[in-house]
């Protein structure tokens, strides 16, 4: 029977990301007993990979990779399955001074052809010289690299079967070299890879471990987050290793089917740390309405992180209420803010304070770009979540359209700087220059304000809808529809604006599960009436089949892709047979 790695290192003093490189961090962690534990979607332990064994196997693989013709600095594409082979290849790249490039699994894309084309673009974009993936996707990898000049493409087992030679020594480490390339999830034109140096990664890991989550020697993490997304890769794969913390990993593609396995594993292994976007908490709360959860025990959980998307306070309220009897304390919610371009984290709300909110008047927000407290009988209250102060050694500014820094409670574009900024978008100097200034300030693309020194996010600048001088946030419209119309779920609605000859108009795509034309017509009319009465917005409501709205690689609804598909006519044939 396989036993998971222990939570506590008996004889190894904890070091919190005090290393120059990831290889150095693994060298240290390998002196203890902790490690990665890979579980099936049913919660069965498949492999316990101690950091000690990982170091031995990664170094041996690194020598084979270099002997195969790969050279330091070459990029290695990895389809990021949550398994031991991903860890072996990723850390072999660290020792060989190769640059791993985690890439998404098929679940977020529409069929084999679209997925293969997407992966091929990523491989070409980063100039990968090798590509690895799980056995189940070996044929897909072969299709994706057809005609490309790669040293190898296939599975780790296939590589080891043919690569028998090794080099005598591994290259020395350099903190200024690239550690990995992390593709942003939301691009619709072409993939952009954030190039992260060893130094930038370690600065972020140190800030997370020492200040954001304040890791201790008795911490343990559980994660189902994808390893091709920054929150999963950096937050619950790499940073724990730099603090010698054991991590239990569930396969991302299984989470939606069995979300409560996540909570069960937290209780079973007495984990203290775990994160999720809002939809993960919502899915668990909804599933718990029909399933018995008396066996769950969540009292060990001390930091329930929330990030990766706009935070929905009401979702967290429902989760906390549903699982309070199972030992969950709402005060452990830890809102956070960050992105791949900053390695991961930029801010953490204070631990143990829960999800704190600022209630503002939506009218002032939309008309004057001011986060003012509601007043008067016509006030429209709206809650935003405080995401904590900027991490040490980093800076944040909220700027207006002219670049002037705005005072507290004024809405503007968020700019950040600090030691964990990406080096660039790999191979894309124009795109890099558009967001990263010569003096190191990054345009996050997010809108928000500062309150008491803490960051409050209100939405993405590119998604903002401007109608008759009002700044309207699409998520407000989406959440109103999902909450106000029976039968709709989180992620069922995508709202965006379209530039027409007569001006900007609002379109709402809504996933519909109704089978009769009359019921669908009533649903569309009800949604249009709700948006008109609650937000004063006239919307073109289009119903689309269930599961047809696209998502990003991190599992979030993609408004940009939804809009692109709508404009391309992809939804024109929806329910045509009626």
List pLDDT tens digits, range 327-340: 999 999 999 999 99
Domain count along the chain: 3
pTM metric for this prediction:
0.91
List the structure tokens of 385. Answer: 């979540």
Instruction: Give the pLDDT band of residue 377 (cuts 50, 70, 90).
Output: confident
Decide if 263 is inside a domain: no
List the structure tokens of 445. Answer: 């693309």
Is the domain of 458 the same as that of 487? no
| DSSP-derived secondary structure letter, 229 | S
Judged against a pLDDT cut of 60, whether residue 399 lies above it is answered with yes
State CA 455 to chain mean position distance: 19
| DSSP-derived secondary structure letter, 402 | T
> Are residues 193 and 374 in contact, defined by beta-carbon separation less than 8 angstroms?
no
Is the domain of 127 the same as that of 232? yes
Q: Which of 338, 564, 290 lies closest to 442, judged by CA?
A: 338
Is the domain of 243 the same as that of 378? no
Q: Which of 186-190, 273-277, 421-425 has the weakest average pLDDT?
A: 186-190
> Are residues 27 and 253 in contact, defined by beta-carbon separation less than 8 angstroms?
no
Is the domain of 47 the same as that of 177? yes
Instruction: Give the pLDDT band of residue 185 (cuts 50, 70, 90).
Output: low
Judged against a pLDDT cut of 80, whether residue 575 lies above it is answered with no
222 sits in the region (left: phi over 0; alpha: psi -120 to 50; else beta) called beta
Judged against a pLDDT cut of 80, whether residue 500 lies above it is answered with no
Q: Any idea what the CATH number is for the domain that residue 131 is in?
A: 3.40.50.12780
The pLDDT of residue 490: 85
For 107-121, write each residue's pLDDT tens digit. Answer: 755 689 989 998 999
For 3-42, write each residue's pLDDT tens digit. Answer: 999 999 999 999 999 999 999 999 999 999 999 999 999 9
Give the Cα separation of 337 and 309 in Å (integer). Answer: 9
Decide if 260 is inside a domain: no
Is the domain of 477 the same as that of 434? no
Task: Give the H or E element holding residue 475.
Answer: helix 474-484
Decide if 545 is inside a domain: yes
Pairing of strands 503-512, 442-451: unpaired
Is the domain of 378 the same as that of 488? no
Is the domain of 67 the same as that of 197? yes
For 89-109, write each residue's pLDDT tens digit. Answer: 999 999 999 999 999 998 755
Is the domain of 29 the same as that of 156? yes
> Are residues 383 and 389 in contact, defined by beta-carbon separation less than 8 angstroms?
no
Three-class SS state of 126: helix
Average pLDDT of span 380-394: 96
Is the domain of 505 the same as that of 438? no
For 193-236, write each residue's pLDDT tens digit. Answer: 999 999 999 999 999 999 999 999 999 999 999 999 999 999 99
Give the Cα separation of 380 and 394 in Å (integer). Answer: 34
Q: Which of 257, 305, 313 lies closest to 479, judged by CA?
A: 313
Decide if 72 is inside a domain: yes
CA distances (Å), origin 544, targets 260, 278, 482, 508, 570: 29, 23, 15, 10, 10
| DSSP-derived secondary structure letter, 238 | I
Decide if 33 is inside a domain: yes
Q: Which of 352, 55, 25 lies closest to 204, judged by CA?
A: 25
Average pLDDT of span 499-504: 74
Q: Which of 55-64, 119-128, 356-365, 539-548 has the weakest average pLDDT?
A: 539-548
For 297-321, write each residue's pLDDT tens digit. Answer: 999 999 999 987 889 899 999 999 9
**Hey, CA dihedral for 86, 90, 96, 101, is it positive or negative?**
positive
Instruction: Give the pLDDT band of residue 187 (cuts 50, 70, 90).
Output: very low
Q: Which of 392, 372, 402 lies closest to 453, judged by CA?
A: 392
Give the Cα separation of 120 and 150 in Å (integer). Answer: 12
> Are residues 68 and 284 in contact, defined by beta-carbon separation less than 8 angstroms?
no
b/e for 434-473, b at 16 or more Cβ within 10 A? ebbeeeebbbbbbbbbbbeebbbbbbbeebebebeebbbb
Residue where a domain stops, chosen among 436, 462, 488: 462
The pLDDT of residue 376: 83
The DSSP bridge partners found for residue 543 are 510
Average pLDDT of span 176-187: 84
For 242-279, write each residue's pLDDT tens digit. Answer: 999 999 999 998 998 999 999 999 999 999 999 999 98
Residue where a domain stops, chosen among 247, 279, 307: 247
State which residues form the domain around 397: 359-462
> Are residues 235 and 345 in contact, defined by beta-carbon separation less than 8 angstroms?
yes
Decide if 208 is inside a domain: yes
Decide if 315 is inside a domain: no
Give the Cα separation of 72 and 165 in Å (integer). Answer: 17
Is the domain of 60 the same as that of 204? yes
Instruction: Give the pLDDT band of residue 1 (cuts 50, 70, 90).
Output: confident
Residue where a domain stops, chosen among 227, 247, 267: 247
Is the domain of 470 the same as that of 458? no
Q: Any idea what the CATH number is for the domain that residue 539 is in?
A: 3.30.300.30
CB atoms within 10 A of CB 532: 12
Q: Any idea what the CATH number is for the domain that residue 420 is in?
A: 2.30.38.10
Is the domain of 373 the same as that of 504? no
Give the Cα separation of 105 and 109 in Å (integer). Answer: 8
Give the Cα separation of 397 and 390 in Å (integer). Answer: 10
Pairing of strands 193-197, 333-338: unpaired
Decide if 284 is inside a domain: no
Average pLDDT of span 497-520: 85
């Amino acid at each position: 029977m396989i036993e998971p790695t222990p939570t506590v290192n008996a004889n190894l003093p904890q070091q919190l990301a005090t290393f120059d490189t990831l290889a150095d961090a693994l060298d240290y962690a390998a002196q203890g007993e902790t490690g990665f534990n890979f579980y099936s979607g049913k919660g069965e332990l498949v492999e316990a990979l101690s950091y000690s064994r990982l170091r031995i196997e990664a170094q041996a693989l690194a020598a084979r990779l270099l002997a195969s013709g790969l050279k330091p600095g070459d990029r290695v594409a990895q389809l990021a399955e949550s398994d031991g082979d991903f860890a072996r290849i990723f850390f072999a790249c660290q020792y060989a001074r190769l640059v791993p490039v985690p890439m998404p699994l098929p679940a977020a894309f529409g069929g084999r052809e679209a997925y293969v084309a997407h992966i091929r673009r990523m491989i070409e974009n980063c100039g990968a010289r090798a590509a690895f993936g799980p056995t189940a996707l070996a044929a897909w990898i072969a299709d994706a690299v057809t005609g490309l000049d790669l040293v190898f493409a296939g599975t780790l087992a296939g590589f080891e079967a043919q690569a028998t030679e090794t080099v005598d020594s591994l290259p020395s480490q350099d903190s200024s070299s690239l550690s990995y390339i992390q593709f942003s999830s939301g691009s619709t034109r072409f993939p952009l890879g954030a190039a992260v140096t060893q130094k930038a990664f370690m600065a972020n890991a140190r800030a997370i471990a020492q200040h954001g989550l304040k890791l201790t020697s008795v911490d343990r993490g559980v994660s189902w987050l994808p390893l091709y997304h920054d929150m999963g890769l950096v937050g619950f794969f790499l940073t724990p290793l730099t603090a010698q913390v054991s991590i239990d990993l569930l396969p991302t593609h299984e989470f939606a089917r069995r979300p409560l396995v996540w909570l069960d594993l937290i209780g079973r292994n007495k984990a203290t740390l775990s994160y999720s976007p809002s939809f993960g908490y919502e899915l668990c709360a909804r599933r718990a309405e029909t399933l018995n959860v008396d066996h769950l025990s969540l009292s060990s959980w001390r930091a329930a992180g929330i990030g990766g998307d706009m935070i929905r306070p009401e979702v967290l309220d429902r989760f906390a209420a549903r699982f309070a009897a199972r030992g969950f304390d709402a005060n452990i919610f830890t809102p956070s803010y960050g992105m791949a371009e900053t390695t991961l984290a930029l801010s953490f709300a204070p631990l143990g304070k829960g999800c704190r909110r600022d209630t503002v008047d939506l009218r002032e927000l939309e008309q004057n770009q001011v986060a003012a407290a509601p007043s008067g009988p016509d006030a429209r209250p709206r809650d935003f979540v405080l995401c904590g102060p900027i991490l040490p050694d980093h800076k944040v500014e909220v700027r207006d359209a002219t670049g002037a820094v705005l005072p507290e409670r004024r809405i503007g574009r968020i700019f950040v700087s600090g030691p964990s900024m990406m080096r660039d978008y790999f191979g894309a100097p124009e795109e890099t220059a558009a967001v990263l200034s010569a003096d190191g300030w990054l345009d996050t693309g997010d809108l928000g304000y500062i309150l008491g020194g803490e960051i409050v996010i209100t939405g993405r600048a590119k998604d903002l809808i401007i109608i008759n001088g009002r700044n309207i946030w699409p998520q407000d419209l989406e959440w109103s529809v999902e909450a106000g119309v029976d039968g709709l779920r989180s992620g069922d609605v995508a709202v965006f604006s379209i530039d027409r000859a007569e001006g900007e108009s609002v379109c709402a795509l809504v996933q519909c599960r109704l089978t009769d034309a009359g019921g669908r017509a009533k649903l569309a009319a009800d949604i249009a009436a709700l948006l008109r009465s609650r937000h004063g917005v006239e919307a073109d409501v289009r119903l689309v089949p269930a599961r047809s709205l696209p998502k990003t690689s991190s599992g979030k609804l993609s408004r940009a892709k939804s809009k692109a598909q709508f404009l391309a006519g992809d939804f024109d044939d929806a329910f045509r047979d009626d």
